[in-house]
Amino acid sequence: MAVEIERKFLVLDDSFKHEAFASSHICQGYICSERGKTVRIRIRDERAYITIKGPSPDGGLSRYEFEQEIPLDDARQLMTLCEPGIIDKTRWLVKSGEHTFEVDEFHGDNAGLVVAEVELHNENEAYQKPRFIGQEVTGDRRYYNAQLRRNPYKLWGRQ
């Protein structure tokens, strides 16, 4: 069983763009986004994936994850079955020590939000934070993509 262990952070500035070694465009939708389980369709540039995620027993630090590449045409069809609200973002990859931080710069209804994640092998693994990393938001459901679909960043100031 695959377990994803990651920490999530807010990003302080756009210096990550100068440090990135790659970037890609991502659109994703959710066939199911109930608390504790999600089924996601993702199109990343010209490749597509279906991902199933389970509940997090430890406040958002780790959870079961299954991901499989699927044909791009199938993903486009599956996107029509998704719940309302598509996540649109650019993902930047930044090396820091032995780890790669994935920095998501959101567009559309979530424009202005930038978060970074680092995947770990275990919950206590040490990692080197890049200088653009700010407050940790691991486990804060507002920053989950499935939640951003329902409650986009553009609405946060009005709540």
Catalytic site positions: 30
Rounded CA-CA distance 137/123 in Å is: 15
What lies within 8 Å, CB to CB, of 66 at 6+ separation is 2, 51, 52, 53
The answer to whether the beta carbons of residues 106 and 125 sit under 8 Å apart is no
Rounded CA-CA distance 110/145 in Å is: 10
